[in-house]
Amino acid sequence: MASTKTRGRRRIEGKGPFIYDNFRNNHVIWPGRERDLDKFLRQSFKGISHKLKNARSSNSEDALTWSCFDTLSNVSQKRRALALEELWELAYGDMAAPEAFEASTIHIGKSYGAGNKITEVDLSFEGDGFAVLVEAKLYSPMSQADPDNDKPHNQIARKLTIGLRAAEAMRKDFYFILLDIAPPDCLAQLNAGASLEEAMGKASGFGGKWLTSYWFSRYKYGHRGSLKPLRELLLKERLNAGPAAEVADRMGWLIWADVFKVVLRAVIPGI
């Protein structure tokens, strides 16, 4: 007879995320890392403990990021190095990785910046001469600029500008990766041919995920062959716009499906 026990529930008619009764069932926990997970979930940013609030939701980006990358942090150095090399290639293609990237320290939920220009980063890889900041998205769109609430930039622009300034202070080369559920060209199809005016507006839910693709592409590839959008962003934040082409080159994109395969290969013996 099948067990009647359940791990949680969805709303009526199967809508919405699966809500686990116990947040631990929503995370992959490496043996001995239980207290580290508790500490991670209870950390706050600007006084808000958003990780704990969403810890039981199957839609939690933090739960997925922890499950994949804390696991990767705990495999052998050899397996982690192979995984990081593969992740780099998936994000950047033929571009050479910074020296010793395969020996990166992995941070989950680390904050960068200072004063009112600070941001919590979902995932980052650091070494002596580099900092790779990763913005992880799942089903939600990126947040838009909201000047009335002290948010002059959208989520990608904020990560780029604060990350660049933080890396400069640490005397490290800066890289940025967008980790999402699908490639940018697929997300763009949710609103094909969108205009800048549309992209300046607000959107919510999965249907608004085209915004992530739009702004990433606008900063990385520019507009009509010109990197003017990225240069203007850097100048607005009083950053050096001279190396805009280098900043654009160092923007990469990863998808969750590839991350899953890389992490699974890292933890399965003999592969």
Does pLDDT of 119 surpass 70? yes
Instruction: Give 1 or 130, the one with higher predicted confidence.
Output: 130
Strand order in the sheet with 117-127: 105-114, 117-127, 130-136, 173-180, 251-255
203-219 residue pLDDT tens: 889 999 999 999 999 99
CA-only gyration radius of the chain, Å = 19
Q: Is 2 part of any domain?
A: no
Q: Do residues 137 and 122 lie in contact, with contact meaning Cβ atoms separated by under 8 Å? A: no
Q: Is 167 part of any domain?
A: yes
Q: Do residues 203 and 211 lie in contact, with contact meaning Cβ atoms separated by under 8 Å? A: yes
Q: Do residues 263 and 68 lie in contact, with contact meaning Cβ atoms separated by under 8 Å? A: yes
Q: Is 4 part of any domain?
A: no
Q: Is 136 part of any domain?
A: yes
Q: Is 31 part of any domain?
A: yes
The amino acid at 227: L
Q: What was the pLDDT predicted at 4?
A: 60
Q: Is 1 part of any domain?
A: no
Q: In 167-242, where do the E strands start and end?
A: 173-180
Looking up tokens 């980790």 gives 179
Confidence of residue 269 (pLDDT cuts 50, 70, 90): confident
Q: What was the pLDDT predicted at 122?
A: 97
Confidence of residue 77 (pLDDT cuts 50, 70, 90): very high
Rounded CA-CA distance 171/165 in Å is 10
The tally of domains found in the chain comes to 1
The amino acid at 230: L
Q: What pTM value is reported for the model?
A: 0.94
The amino acid at 135: E
Q: What was the pLDDT predicted at 268?
A: 94
Confidence of residue 6 (pLDDT cuts 50, 70, 90): confident
Q: Which of 68-77, 143-152, 236-245 has the lowest mean pLDDT?
A: 143-152
Q: What percent of the chain has pLDDT over 90?
A: 83
24-37 residue pLDDT tens: 999 999 999 999 99
Q: Is 213 part of any domain?
A: yes
Q: Which of 19, 16, 27 is nearest to 7 (CA)?
A: 19
Rounded CA-CA distance 61/109 in Å is 11
Pairing type for strands 130-136 and 173-180 reads parallel
Q: Is 218 part of any domain?
A: yes
| Residue-number span of the structural domain to which 92 is assigned | 14-267
Does pLDDT of 271 surpass 90? no
Does pLDDT of 252 surpass 70? yes
Q: What was the pLDDT predicted at 11?
A: 77
Average pLDDT of the chain to the nearest whole number? 94
